[in-house]
Amino acid sequence: MGTLKPSTIRIGRRYRASRLEDNYDAVVIGSGIGGLTTAALLSDLGWKVCVLEQHYTAGGYTHSYDRNGYEWDVGVHYIGDVGAKTRTRMMFDYLSGGKLKWAPMDDEYDRFYVGDKTFCAKAGKQQFRDNLISQFPAEEQAIDRYMDLLAQVGKGLTAYSMNKLLKPWQRVVAWPYLKLKIPALLFRNTYEVLSELTSDQDLIAVICGQWGDMGLPPKRSAFMVHAMIARHYLYGGFYPVGGSWKIAETIIPKIQKTGGEVFTYALVKQIVLQGQQVTGVEMADGHHIKCNCVISSAGIDNTFCRLLPEEAVNEAGYQPLLKRVQPSMAHLGVYIGLQETAEQLGLPKTNFWIYPGNDSDAAVDGFMKDPEAPFPVVYISFPSAKDPDYERRHPGTATIEIVAPAPLEWFEKWRGTTWGKRGDDYEAFKAELGERLMQYLYEKLPQLEGKVDYYEVSTPLSTEYFCAYQYGELYGLDHDPVRLQQNWLGPRTRFKGLWLTGQDVLTCGVTGAMMAGLLTTSAIIGMRKSGTLLKRIFN
Ligand SMILES: Cc1cc2nc3c(=O)[nH]c(=O)nc-3n(C[C@H](O)[C@H](O)[C@H](O)COP(=O)(O)OP(=O)(O)OC[C@H]3O[C@@H](n4cnc5c(N)ncnc54)[C@H](O)[C@@H]3O)c2cc1C
């Protein structure tokens, strides 16, 4: 393989110990949307915040990269709930000072290929329902009951988030009330809930057609997360104009305004403690940054298994808790460039979800046992078609992205090797996987055969290298019913001055991690000041 040219998209400032100041009010580990949100909100209250990101560019899973004249996103394909003045939209507007713009996808934002049948989801609550009924006319009653369940979950979510915000003693006091507000439905198994409504397996497969958005098929996931995602996209999908890197780019100025900074190439080696009190962080270059408020957005695994001293984690009683959560599935990515525009190629603003049949759980099991079995899900997205600004930046070209699961074990033998230099056998294996996934694309869009100019494949090892997820996991922790009932997964920790944020605190997704940023900020500043902040954001 020839040497890969590094990406030119760089957001944030390169870390040097000499560029640090000595009086930060807070240090944030990781510059994903969770970390950036917390940093920006604290900065807005006058805090001076230092964000430390190990990657060469800021944004975590919202970063983009370019190569050979093309540009791709690694962890953002569509975001819901931003087409009207919703809470999600108000948060993005507040954080970006109104600079982040959104482009709607097609009315048919998701298309589901289930075996040899094709279904879709359409934007708008009523249209979503009517469209489902038009595809399953005999299931009107079940579909209406399903829509009611989505509404029920919606009502329970505020109480669920409030519960995360409370101190343990407050939770004890508030629990009799919260218990009434958080329906047990939230923690039930998705498939079980749906099979009480209908026995039509195709309908269940279509209702669960977005399971790839949280990485667990219906028999393993919690209904709460299924419903959150379904509700999130009910009014359609939207794409950040200019590419997903615009998210970090538009938020960072808020952090810099009060003297803070977002440093890249800034690997944190350790969270430093004195007893149970946080006193700062130690960088990979040995430099100490003193600060008694440290916020980790690096995920539970990184925070508790890599950044905190093992002894302290044990003493604080975290070991048995950590056993209750697992990493989400690892994934492959294919990043494709074409020398014609999306319009010329007839690329839609619709995501494709390709399933071998209507039993995704069986398909996942089959695939884990036999790597030659069909991929249990293949997701195809058309970023340049969705981005009205793409043509200006990269005239005459188009891009496509494919995501599919892949067990980390397949790549075990190359662990510890360096990116770009993992060897010919690794490249050959990647080429084989890439070829397999490209066939899914050509089958659905045969006009693309012979039109692809360039493509490259990422593996769970790429995710580990660039995004610091040691298991190549897509979405942090798995969203099973047990994980969602872990009260310790919240902004607070048992270490004084250490806070958590990001996708492991609430749920995955850009919005889930952003809302975790708001929750963490509220926990840090306290209820009274939060009231003022909330008024400012949601005015
Ligand atoms: C392939 C894929 C597709 C997705 N598609 C969508 C989508 O279409 N819509 C959607 O809403 N969501 C999507 N998601 C999920 C979404 O991107 C994530 O849930 C969200 O961005 C996570 O944000 P975060 O802040 O929690 O973590 P991250 O964005 O992962 O940020 C954590 C950061 O911490 C840094 N870090 C870790 N350890 C250290 C250390 N020791 N020192 C310094 N820095 C460190 C990492 O480098 C990383 O940048 C997708 C994810 C993937 C992987």
Model confidence band, residue 112 (pLDDT cutoffs 50, 70, 90): very high
DSSP state of 98: T
Token code pair at residue 223 = 């209904």
Mean pLDDT of 15-21: 97
Write the DSSP assignment of 207-275 as a string of letters: HTTTGGGTT--TTTSBHHHHHHHHHHTTT-EEEETT-THHHHHHHHHHHHHTT-EEEES--EEEEEEET
Minimal-distance CA residue to ligand 1 atom 12: 509
Atom of ligand 1 nearest to the CA of 508: 19
Atom of ligand 1 nearest to the CA of 517: 25
Strand partners, 403: 333, 379
DSSP β-ladder status, 117-122 and 70-73: unpaired
Mean pLDDT of 503-524: 98
DSSP β-ladder status, 378-381 and 498-500: unpaired
CA distance 18 to 449: 52
Ligand 1 geometric centre to CA of 463 (Å): 10
* Mean pLDDT, the chain, whole residue set: 96
Mean pLDDT of 156-161: 94
Packed helices 245-257 and 33-44: angle between N→C axes, nearest 10 degrees = 30
Ligand 1 geometric centre to CA of 33 (Å): 7
Question: CA torsion sign, 54 to 57 to 59 to 61?
Answer: negative
DSSP state of 446: G
Write the DSSP assignment of 291-332 as a string of letters: -S-EEE-S-HHHIIIIIS-HHHHHHTT-HHHHTT--B--BEE
- Is residue 481 within 8 Å of 261, Cβ to Cβ? no
- Is residue 508 within 8 Å of 483, Cβ to Cβ? no
Tens-digit pLDDT profile for residues 363-422: 999 999 998 999 999 999 999 999 999 999 999 999 999 999 999 999 999 998 988 889
CA distance 231 to 512: 13
pLDDT surpassing 60 at residue 1: no
CA distance 91 to 439: 40
Ligand 1 geometric centre to CA of 460 (Å): 14
Model confidence band, residue 22 (pLDDT cutoffs 50, 70, 90): confident
Token code pair at residue 379 = 């997701």
Model confidence band, residue 5 (pLDDT cutoffs 50, 70, 90): confident
- Is residue 358 within 8 Å of 114, Cβ to Cβ? yes
Determine the number of helices (DSSP H) and then strands (DSSP E) in the chain: 21, 21
Token code pair at residue 389 = 């600004």
CA distance 473 to 477: 8
Minimal-distance CA residue to ligand 1 atom 20: 510
pLDDT surpassing 90 at residue 144: yes
Ligand 1 geometric centre to CA of 139 (Å): 38
DSSP β-ladder status, 237-240 and 79-80: antiparallel
Ligand 1 geometric centre to CA of 376 (Å): 23
pLDDT of residue 2: 59
- Is residue 149 within 8 Å of 228, Cβ to Cβ? no
DSSP β-ladder status, 351-355 and 13-14: unpaired
pLDDT surpassing 90 at residue 525: yes
What backbone phi and psi angles, to 5 degrees, belong to 182? -105, 95
Tell which residue, 495, 446, 46, has the closest CA to residue 260. 46
Tell which residue, 134, 101, 305, 294, has the closest CA to residue 206. 134
Mean pLDDT of 292-313: 98
Tens-digit pLDDT profile for residues 37-79: 999 999 999 999 999 999 999 999 999 999 999 999 999 999 9
- Is residue 217 within 8 Å of 364, Cβ to Cβ? yes
Per-residue exposure over 240-261, b if at least 16 CB sit within 10 Å of its own CB, e if not: bebbbbbbbbbbbebbeeebbb
Ligand 1 residue neighbourhood (C-beta within 6 Å):
29-35, 52-55, 60-62, 75-79, 266-268, 297-298, 302, 307, 331, 403, 467-468, 474-475, 502-503, 508-511, 513
Write the DSSP assignment of 6-29 as a string of letters: PP----SEE--GGG--S--SEEEE
pLDDT of residue 356: 98
377, amino acid identity: V
CA distance 298 to 304: 10
Tell which residue, 249, 251, 246, 252, has the closest CA to residue 76. 246
Out of 37, 76, 332, 519, mutate this one to test ligand 1's pocket (max ligand atoms within 8 Å of CB): namely 76
526, amino acid identity: G
Tell which residue, 240, 254, 264, 259, has the closest CA to residue 11. 264
- Is residue 492 within 8 Å of 523, Cβ to Cβ? yes
DSSP state of 477: B
Mean pLDDT of 285-307: 98
Using CA atoms, how far residue 503 sits from 62, 93, 458, 500, 534, in Å, is: 13, 20, 22, 10, 21
